[in-house]
Amino acid sequence: MNLTDRSKILITCAKGLGDWVANELEDLGYEVLIKRSNGVEIEGDWLDVMRLNLELRTALAVLYLFHEFNASRPKDYYKTVNSLPWEELISPSEYISIVSRADTPTINNTMYVGQLTKDAIVDRIVDKTGSRPNSGPKRDNIVINVFWMGQRCWLYLNTSGNKLADRGYRKMPFKAPLQETLAAAILIASGYDGSQPLVLPMCGSGTLAIEAALIALKRRVGLLRNNFSFMHLLNYDKETWKDIRLEALKKGAKKLVAPIIATDIDEGAIEASVNNATTAGVAHLIDFSVCDFAKTSIPKVNNGIILMNPEYGERLGDVKELEKTYRRIGDFFKNSCRGYSGYVFTGNLKLAKHIGLRTSKRFIFQNAKIECRLLKYEIYEGSRKSKYQVDGDA
């Protein structure tokens, strides 16, 4: 397969991030063909594949459509998959992993589709080369994604491998960290682009602060990784990838134009944040300190963003105690953060009501299995909500 061979490209994402991935793609100049909550389809070639793996902040994987066909029985499915020229793409010295999803009457176990696909590919390679590639669950070599829905089958080359959320910097997760792609989407939703001061009390393991620094520097997140699945395919063009990376390294800023301040009451959280930010190469750009959120020093500006991700009682923290914390967040916004847009990311709307301020915008996100909201509060004199305002409804 040549660098210029075009096909459909499916960009997968965590449920609920489809809009944010589509926005990123449109900003990069792609035409979005299909948009779903957990994925977006475009068309492109292998240069696009490399570029997207490097650029996308909110996506999980870039899947290049290799073959699309009809099959109703496992036997027909095996036959078609086995007839494809896998030996031109996969060296027998590589390791293959299959990710399968099936919803078709002749299959009642989706693992069986994975097994069938692996057998068809491996048998073909053995037949053509005399050697057998290894296979298993590890995602850091060659990954093939299969969807078999009704009569229709799609075989994708998963060009990312391990999910793109795994940027490689979070060595210390601390408690309840946000997935990196979700943190990036939250920041983008808040309008953060690096030009405004950003204050992140309750920063936990530092995910929001690190993603913010990467956004502010316009640093391509894929530069943090040195392994993608496309590098293991026989059509991998090392020189072109080197050029694309070098080009990306030249872009972006060295310094921030506005500060990023990140605090947490827990020393362990700040230790984790500093470590993670160091791995990401941005620790020197973030002002970290240990303190209660209400003691965070807030630069006096009129265009700042303050963003908090308090515990919300599902995984951590006790609800009664948290009610007090949310009330204190409202007081803190009102008394100390004038001139800022305040954001709270939470999975508990009952707790959010205790903030007691009027929300001006709400974004729905999914954090693992919990539906969450990013709530925006305009903070100015008189922003206390009227007693009739029902807050946190969405």
Which CB, 258 or 265, lies closer to ligand SAM?
A: 265
Shortest Å distance, C-beta 288 to ligand SAM:
12
For ligand SAM, give the closer residue by CB, 202 or 224.
202
Amino acid at position 384, single letter: R
CA 186, distance to chain mean position in Å, is 10
Asked if 163 contacts 60 with a C-beta cutoff of 8 angstroms, the reply is yes
Q: Which amino acid is it at 376?
A: K
Query: Of 114 and 204, which CB lies nearer to ligand SAM in the complex structure?
Result: 204
Q: Tell me how far apart the alpha carbons of residues 85 and 92 are, in angstroms, rounded to a whole number.
A: 13
For ligand SAM, the closer of residues 107 and 176 by Cβ is 176
Shortest distance, position 393 Cβ to ligand SAM, whole Å = 23
Identify which of residues 11 and 187 has a Cβ nearer to ligand SAM in the complex.
187
Least distance from ligand SAM to the Cβ atom of residue 317, Å: 7
- Spatial distance between the Cα atoms of 315 and 309, rounded to a whole number of angstroms: 13
Cβ neighbours, 10 Å, residue 212: 29
One-letter amino acid at 251 equals K
Do residues 296 and 157 lie in contact, with contact meaning Cβ atoms separated by under 8 Å? no
Neighbours of 76 (CB within 10 A): 15
Least gap, CB of 237 to ligand SAM (angstroms): 36
Nearer to ligand SAM, 202 or 337 (CB): 202
In the complex, least distance from residue 369 CB atom to ligand SAM, rounded to whole angstroms? 15
The amino acid at residue 90 is: I
Q: How far is the CB of 3 from ligand SAM (least distance, A)?
A: 37
Neighbour tally for 284: CB within 10 Å: 9
Q: Left, alpha or beta for 297 (phi > 0: left; psi -120 to 50: alpha)?
A: beta
d(CA 318, CA 312): 8
- Specify the residue, 145 or 348, whose C-beta has the smaller distance to ligand SAM: 348
Instruction: Work out how close the CB of 49 gets to ligand SAM at its nearest, in angstroms, rounded to a whole number.
Output: 29
Contact residues for ligand SAM, defined by CB under 6 A:
174-178, 201-202, 204-205, 207-208, 264-266, 269, 292-293, 309-311, 325
Give the HSE-up count for residue 99: Cα atoms under 13 Å, Cβ half-sphere. 18
Calculate the alpha carbon distances from 379 to 7, 300, 302, 303, 385 in Å.
48, 13, 10, 11, 11
Smallest distance, Å, CB 218 to ligand SAM? 22
Residue whose Cβ sits closest to ligand SAM:
204
Q: Where are the alpha helices (DSSP H) in 110-177?
A: 110-129
Please say which residue, 141 or 273, places its beta carbon nearer to ligand SAM.
273
